[in-house]
Structure 1
Amino acid sequence: MRPTTVAIAGSGLAELTCAWLLAARGHRVRLRPRPAGGPRPLLLGDDTLALLHALWGTEAADGPAADSHRLTHRHARWTQDRDADPPLPQPAAVVDGARLARRLLARLADRYPDAVSEEPDPAGPPDPQARPDARVPPVPPDPTVPQWTVTATPPGRAGAYRTAGRRHLLAGEAPCAAGQDDTTARLERTDDAWLHLTPLGDGNALLQAMVPGPVGHPARHLGRLLAHSPLAARLAQAPATAVALPAAPRLHRAPATPPAGRTPGLLLVGAGAIRYDPLSGTGTAQALRTAVLAAAVIDSAAAGTPADRLCAHYTARLRTAFRDHLATCARLYPQAFPTPAWQHELDACRSG
C-alpha cells in the first residue's frame, strides 16, 4: 500500500475520527481545522460513547468525555396517554462538543506527530461539481499534495441535498427549578411539537423543540410551547434566547467523488453527508460510522481498489441508511402528530 495524503477540512467528531483512523494506517493527514465555536452540548448514549472509545483507543475513566455530566434515565411521553412509558434506565452523558473536539485533536497530534500537520484552508473544500476535463491525462500522485479531502462542510450548491421535510429544531438554555432531578432526560409532546429537556449538570438545562416548519421568533415560540407542557414546572423560567436550526433528515446527492486528474477526491462525512432527525438520538453514532467508512474507502483505494467503485459503494451505503431512517420517522411521527400541520413532514418521510 502506498501512503496517501489526505486533507481533513474541519474539526468535528467525524472529521477528526477519520483523521485518527487514517494516521493509524500510515497515511499522511493535513488538518484544516475550522475556527472553534462556543460550548455545544451533546447528549451521547452509552452505546455511542462505547463506539467513540473503541475508535480512539481510550477508556471511559480517562477518555475524551471523562468530565461529562452523567444521566441515568430517560422519560418519554410520546402519546396522549400521560401514564405511558415510565422512566427507563438509559445511561448517557452530556458533553461539550467543542471541548471534546479539542481533546481529540490534541490526542491525534500527540500520537501521530510525524503523520499529522496543520495548515490553513483559504479556499475551503473542493467543489465536487468542478471536475477537470476528462481528456486531461492522469497525473502521477505528488506525495505532498492531498489526493483526498474529507469534510463535513461541503461547498454550498443549490439542490445538493435531498431533504425530507422542512421541520426545525428550536433550542435554548434555561435555569432548572429548585430541587429538580438532573439525571433524567425528558421527552414530551404537545399538540404540534415535541420537546426534549436535557439537564446540563450546572443548574441549567437545554430545552429543544421540534416544530413542523420555520418560525420567526424562536425564543417566543419555544416559550409558548413550554407553557403547554409539563416540562414548564421543571424550569425556573423559559429560555431567554433560542436558535432555530433546520432539522429534517437530509442526504447529500453526491457524498463521494473519486480523484480525477489534479482534482482530489471528496468524501463528505457527518451531517455534511447525512443528517438524522434528532428524535432518533443516533446522529453522532451515524457521523462516526461515516468516518469509519470514509477511512476504509481511502485505505482501500491506496491498496489498489478502483476509487470510483469505492465511492459508489460509499454512496450506496449512505442511501440505504437514509431510507431506513426515513422509514423509522414515518413509523414514529404519525403516532404523535396526526394533524394537518405535520402532514407535509409525514408525506416527506413516506416518499423516501
Structure 2
Amino acid sequence: MSIDADQITDRRRLKRRLSLWRIAAIVAIAVALIATSLQSGLFPPSEQIARIRLEGVIADDPALIDLLHKVRDDKSVKAVILYINSPGGTASGAEAIYENVRSIAAKKPVVAVLGTVAASGGYIAALSADHIVARGNTITGSIGVIFQWTQLKDLMGKLGIEMREVKSAPLKAEPNPFTEPSPEALKATEALIQSSYRWFLGLVQERRGFDEATTRKLGDGRVYTGFQAEENGLIDEVGGEQTALTWLRKERQVSDRLPVRDWTPAEDEFGITDLVGKAMARAALSTMEGLSQKTLHTKRLTLDGLTSLWHPEAR
C-alpha cells in the first residue's frame, strides 16, 4: 500500500508542476501578444512624456536618429525630455542630433536636462531644445571646434625612421604626424576649423538670442558651471527633471502627471527579434557589464573628423 501511495503522491506533484508550467507558458504568450499588439499599433499606447538619454561621447549613430524619428511621429508622446551627460564628440554627430531634435520640437515641446557635463557637442545637442535646465555644478559650454594630430617627426628621426610618400597634391592628407606641416597645410586646416566654428557660433546666437559680440565673447572655448551658464544666458534654469516638468506644465500645458518613459535605440546585435529572446540576451549581457562598458568606450573614442569635445587634460 505504501508503494501505491507514493506513486499517487508523485503523480499529483508531477501534475501540479505541469500545471504551473502551463500557466507560466500561457502568461508568457499573453505578455508577448500584448507587447506585439502595442508595437503594431493595434492598441494605442497611453499619453506620455518621452525621456531620451544622450550619454557618453557623441558619434554618428543611425540607431539614435531612427529613435528620434519614432519619437517625433508617435502621437502618444506629448513632450520630450532630452537628458544629456556628454563631453561632446564629432561635430557631424552633434549636428545630426541637433537637426533631428529640432524636427521633434516642431511638433511637440522638448526640454534639455543637463547632467554632470554637457559641453561642446553636448551643448550643441542642448541648443536643439526649447528650454535648457542644468544643475548648478553641471559643466557646460566649451563652445568651439578642435582638430588634433600627434607630431612624430622628431621621434622618428631619433629612431632612424623616415616616412616617404607619393600623393596627388601637396595638401592631400595634411596635416599628418610624420612631417612638419607646411604653412599652406596649417592655413587650410585653420579654414576648416573656422568654418565649423562659425556654424557653432551661429547656433548659439540664434538659439540663445545673443548679438554677435556676446556670442563670440561667451564662445571662446571656456567651460561654465550651470550657475555661470544661467547668469550668461547659456541655459534657462538651474534645476533637474522636476524643473523641466514644471516648465512643461506652466509654459506648454503638458500635464506633469503624465508618465515619463525612457525611449532607447533599438538593439538587435545578435539577430534576436522575439521578446523572450531579447530578455535572455539582456540577462546574458548583464553578466559581462564591465567588459561591455570597456568595449563601448573604446569604440566611442575612435573619432574621425572635426571634433567638438571637452575633456580636462590629465596632469
TM-score, normalised via structure 2 length: 0.28
> Which structure shows the bigger proportion of residues in helix conformation?
2
> Which structure shows the bigger proportion of residues in strand conformation?
1
Larger radius of gyration: 2
TM-score, normalised via structure 1 length: 0.26
